[in-house]
Chain A
Amino acid sequence: DTAVSQTPKYLVTQMGNDKSIKCEQNLGHDTMYWYKQDSKKFLKIMFSYNNKELIINETVPNRFSPKSPDKAHLNLHINSLELGDSAVYFCASSPWDREGETQYFGPGTRLLVL
């Protein structure tokens, strides 16, 4: 059973389009995240949700909007896609553990904006 799943795995689209990436975790974790990994493999956190509430919103353009319908799902909607949005987007989850939060990552969504 896949613990953290993302769809789609690949996404190729034109500039200006709006797209969504879905994430689901079946680990019963309270916290979910979105990360962006650039071409140099730098992994940067974008958002963090705990029990459906936003707790971290790093400096991300407001074209990016996360939505958490329940604590097992955290979707990422991106409006007006730009070339610089091309990257791999990872969803992750973790238990709300104040003694160090081990992250469980999804397989990633490779976004290419043309």
Chain B
Amino acid sequence: SQQGEEDPQALSIQEGENATMNCSYKTSINNLQWYRQNSGRGLVHLILIRSNEREKHSGRLRVTLDTSKKSSSLLITASRAADTASYFCATDSGGSYIPTFGRGTSLIVHP
């Protein structure tokens, strides 16, 4: 069953702006991951945040996790045209560590 729901479904920004995508989920999780999918390609893992963590950084990416609100956000700072892609959150919960994916946010960064 689908766990994470990304918001917004689509986001269009100019190069240099920041992009924020959100993910909400229903049940308590073990971990939450963010993936990127370029058009016509497979998904690429970006970052994993555990349920006892609140924030993680990787380069221009910043992920936050609020377990009380059952939500996470992915911030891409100083966006580039190459960041144009779909971004998915994936959660695992209970005894299963296999992630369940949301429907993704489609990000377009205009040069």
Q: Does B41 contact A (CB under 8 A)?
A: yes
Chain A residues positioned under 8 Å from B106 (CB to CB): 41
Contact pattern, A 74-114, Cβ under 8 Å of B = 1, otherwise 0? 00000000000000001010000111111111111000000
Q: Which residue from B2, B42, B86, B92 sits with its C-beta under 8 Å from A105?
A: B42
Asked if A107 contacts B101 (CB within 8 A), the reply is: no
A108 to B42, CA, bound (A): 6
A3 to B30, CA, bound (A): 26
Q: Does A15 contact B (CB under 8 A)?
A: no
Chain B residues positioned under 8 Å from A4 (CB to CB): 42
- Chain A's interface size range is 20 to 34
Asked if A100 contacts B92 (CB within 8 A), the reply is: yes
Which stretch from B15-23, B43-51, B66-74, B75-83 is at the chain A interface?
A: B43-51
Q: Which residue from A41, A99, A107 sits with its C-beta under 8 Å from B86?
A: A41
Asked if B104 contacts A90 (CB within 8 A), the reply is: no
Q: Does A54 contact B (CB under 8 A)?
A: no
Using a CB–CB cutoff of 8 Å, the interface residues on chain B facing chain A are 2, 30-31, 33, 35, 37, 40-45, 48, 50, 86, 88, 90, 92, 97-101, 103-104, 106
8 intermolecular pairs with C-beta atoms under 8 Å apart = A42-B2, A48-B98, A98-B97, A100-B33, A100-B50, A100-B97, A103-B45, A108-B41
With A43-B104, A99-B31, A100-B50 already in contact, 6 other A-B pairs whose C-beta atoms are closer than 8 Å: A45-B98, A56-B98, A90-B43, A103-B33, A105-B42, A106-B42
